[in-house]
Amino acid sequence: MSRKYRIVLAGNPNCGKTTIFNCLTGARQHVGNYPGVTVESKTGEFMLGEDEIELIDIPGVYSLSSSSPEEGVAFEELTKPGIDLIMNVIDSSIPQRSLYLSTQLAELHIPMLIVFNMSDEAKRKGLKFNIPKLQSYFGCSIVQTVGSRGDGIDKLKTALAESLLHLEDHDVPKLTYGADVDDAIHELVQWIEPAMTDRVHHIPARFFAIKLLEKDTCVMRLPEFQNLDAIIDAQITHLYARHAITAETFMADCRYAMISGACRDAISFTQERRREISDKIDAVVTNQWVGLPLFFVIMYLMFWFTFTCAAPMTAGIEWMFAWIQGLIERFWSPDAQPVLRSLLIDGVIHGVGGVVVFLPNILFLFLAIAFLEDTGYMARAAFVMDGIMRKFDLQGKSFVPLVLGFGCNVPAIMATRSIESERDRRTTILVLPLMSCGARLPIYVLLVPAFFAVKYQAFIMFLIYAIGVAFAMVAARILKSTLFKGDGEVYLMELPPYRVPTAKSILLHMWDRGVMYLKKAGTIILGVSVLLFIANNFPEKKTFDADYGTQMLAVAADTSLTAAEQAAAVRHIENMRRAEAAEYTISGRVGKFLEPAFRPIGFDWRVTTAAIGALAAKEVFVSQLGILYAEGEGAGDDENEDQQEPLRQQLRRAYTPLQGFCMMLFCLLSIPCLATLAIIRKELNSWKWMFLEAAGLFALAYVTTLIVYQIGLLLKIGTNHLL
């Protein structure tokens, strides 16, 4: 007979919990080797024989103290009714620290199965476990696994099936805190039990008594216990008078004492412990003199790797889209459904194709980020950056979301939930859009090769990212000194051991981000490209200011001109005609209307409309330029009338390197995409902050770009066109 069970997956950050989740459910969820990857609960399902299992992956936490957003989510999930079993994953290479959460989970009196993950690392450290003895301490089965390789998963499923068969017979030991504390717990239980409602009745009153003595905020907020403040305070005061320390500290000491005894009794060393490779590497990468320069070198190499490796693939995709365009032009007559033909070529191919062509850059960037995460370097980078970030009134823990912002601002903003300080979290959210997300990368990849020599391209790419980081840090300092004033907070961070990342984990991460990017190109970008095509082509201009046809005939009849001169003259006339037609369209009119305001920062009406379109998604900046230049530029002879020059060449002829740099600068600092604004509103729960963020970033982008462009003109830096 088929049954359905609900199992909660709990554990410390960075214990491999999400890897176990993926092994059991097959879900493609990113696994990062640093604390705070999972910041909200995830659900997956799998079959265990005939039974259906709902597996809930809660955020990684060190305890159930409810002092952070992750612990709050974990507490809420673990105290919901209907949980059949807790699967507690621990890092078996550091059992004494990892088992602290297990003692608190045991107090819930819910059947539990402990997974000693990373057992390969424990073996390398010389740890040997007496599993039967450990099981007697915690009253539940223990299974050893290596989640990254899938080792032990079959044994885990067998133990899980056995545990589910004996849910009613589980034995969860009750931790003793000593006579005084146990008496206080017993006294509170007498008052708690009558107050408990059906909503919390499935949790033992003893658990709530312990949490109330610890002044746990989640339990203190429960309406059932609102009238017990005087009784709780009396017990806490009594315990403090007897032991001169708070009840919370005393109970934590008792838990650690129990764990220490269990580990001393059931864990031995097969060899002398030596200094690990991780420690030797950390002596270099976290060194106060070497760590920071090494970090910048690694970041530079990451961008160099992204740009260099992607170039051949990008060229191949460009060739493919050019071939598809040529195929359509060859077999689809311009006289048959000309509007639909133009929509397909100029809207879809030049719009969506102009974004898809940068997919290799996105893939290689995420490949590099995933590698750094999974090796454990990201945690070191946060540690190294903590000193610098403190100078800007941020903590090192803010560094992880900021680095994730290089990929996408939306998940990066969600990752700020791992920051305990609400002031630091709000500050990090508001400065995150200044980090160059993957959506801006196509803009840089288009403009950098168009305006800068090969030997400068990696430097310019690094520089634009560095500018975003610098502005984010300065903005954070200003926010923390004005809107979010407060005392500094202590920041503790775990440095996990270095690990060799699995190819599967890295490739899945790269694949998922690539698919997400293509979905965006196939939905948002496609929809916006169609709208922009309509705006760029309608209304059509029927009457022109000049008789361009007569002018072209006159040029063709002028025998004093060579064939090349005639072709150039005809091309110039045709471009003038197309430019006049483009200015008559909706985009042209909007761009022309706004052009006076944007001209001081080096933008013409084409770039202005592209910047406006980028509000939907940053990649639209590229697709809009592709569409506009497909309409506004072209060859003039009949044979190549529909052939378009590569967009980079057209931009190189139309703008100076100074203007190209200002385009990148404005796109970096200006209003982020609508998805980012939406997640800011959601995370801060405020429309006001969302609009203030948009207005502030636009003002910052405009003023900064204005200063750079005007100084560049004054000093004649990058003001010559590249032909």
Question: What average pLDDT does range 103-112 have in this prediction?
Answer: 89
Higher pLDDT, 520 or 84: 84
pLDDT at 77 over 90: no
Higher pLDDT, 668 or 515: 668
pLDDT at 273 over 70: no
β-pairing verdict for 51-57 and 127-129: unpaired
Look at residue 694 in the predicted model and tell me its pLDDT.
93
What is the distance between the alpha carbons of residues 486 and 481, in angstroms, rounded to a whole number?
8
pLDDT at 531 over 70: yes
Among the listed residues 525, 541, 521, 543, the one whose alpha carbon sits nearest the alpha carbon of residue 533: 525
pLDDT at 81 over 70: yes
Token pair of 402 as six digits: 């900021």
The residue whose two tokens read 């990451």 is 302
Beta strands in 206-336 (DSSP E): 267-269
Token pair of 660 as six digits: 């190209």
Of the chain, the percentage scoring pLDDT greater than 90 comes to: 20
Question: What average pLDDT does range 443-468 have in this prediction?
Answer: 90
Look at residue 698 in the predicted model and tell me its pLDDT.
95
Token pair of 560 as six digits: 């004093």
Which of 94-103, 128-137, 285-294, 408-417 has the least mean pLDDT?
A: 408-417
Per-residue pLDDT tens over the stretch 593-633: 999 999 999 999 889 988 887 876 787 788 778 767 764 44
Phi (first) and psi of residue 446, to 5 degrees: -75, -45
pLDDT at 637 over 70: no
* Domain extents in the chain: 4-169, 291-481, 504-715
Contacts of the segment 695-702: beta carbons below 8 A, 24+ positions apart: 697/433, 697/434, 697/669, 697/670, 697/671, 697/672, 698/670, 698/671, 700/471, 700/475, 700/669, 700/670, 701/665, 701/666, 701/668, 701/669, 701/670, 701/671, 702/601, 702/666, 702/670
β-pairing verdict for 267-269 and 127-129: antiparallel
Question: What average pLDDT does range 389-411 have in this prediction?
Answer: 76
Question: What average pLDDT does range 263-281 have in this prediction?
Answer: 69
Question: What average pLDDT does range 568-582 have in this prediction?
Answer: 78
pLDDT at 294 over 50: yes
What is the distance between the alpha carbons of residues 428 and 435, in angstroms, rounded to a whole number?
11
Stretch (H or E) spanning 10: strand 4-11
Look at residue 287 in the predicted model and tell me its pLDDT.
84
Q: How confident is the model at residue 277 (pLDDT cuts 50, 70, 90)?
A: low
Predicted TM-score (pTM) of the model is 0.60
Look at residue 196 in the predicted model and tell me its pLDDT.
87
Convert 337-362 to b/e letters by CB count within 10 Å (16 or more is b).
eeeebbbbbbbbbbbbbbbbbbbbbb
pLDDT at 471 over 70: yes
Per-residue pLDDT tens over the stretch 672-708: 887 788 788 878 888 899 999 999 999 999 999 999 9
Look at residue 248 in the predicted model and tell me its pLDDT.
76
CB-count exposure of residue 196 (10 Å: 0-12, 13-18, 19+): middle
Contact 214, 65 (CB under 8 A): yes
Cis peptide before 539 (omega within 30 of 0): yes
- The CATH number of 4-169 is 3.40.50.300
Look at residue 520 in the predicted model and tell me its pLDDT.
62
Look at residue 448 in the predicted model and tell me its pLDDT.
92
Q: How confident is the model at residue 662 (pLDDT cuts 50, 70, 90)?
A: very high
Per-residue pLDDT tens over the stretch 183-228: 888 889 999 888 888 888 888 898 888 888 888 888 888 888 888 8
Look at residue 631 in the predicted model and tell me its pLDDT.
47
Look at residue 355 in the predicted model and tell me its pLDDT.
66
Contact 438, 279 (CB under 8 A): no
Higher pLDDT, 348 or 128: 128
115 has which bridge partners? 89, 143
Look at residue 632 in the predicted model and tell me its pLDDT.
45
Look at residue 241 in the predicted model and tell me its pLDDT.
82
Per-residue pLDDT tens over the stretch 375-392: 888 778 777 877 777 778
pLDDT at 315 over 50: yes
What is the distance between the alpha carbons of residues 624 and 354, in angstroms, rounded to a whole number?
9
Stretch (H or E) spanning 708: helix 687-715
Average pLDDT in the chain: 82
What is the distance between the alpha carbons of residues 667 and 428, in angstroms, rounded to a whole number?
20
Look at residue 708 in the predicted model and tell me its pLDDT.
96
Cα 526 from chain centroid (whole Å)? 23
Rounded to 5°, angle at Cα 48 from 47 and 49: 105
Look at residue 619 in the predicted model and tell me its pLDDT.
73
What is the distance between the alpha carbons of residues 191 and 225, in angstroms, rounded to a whole number?
9
Contact 698, 672 (CB under 8 A): no
* CA count, 13 A, side-chain hemisphere, 342: 15
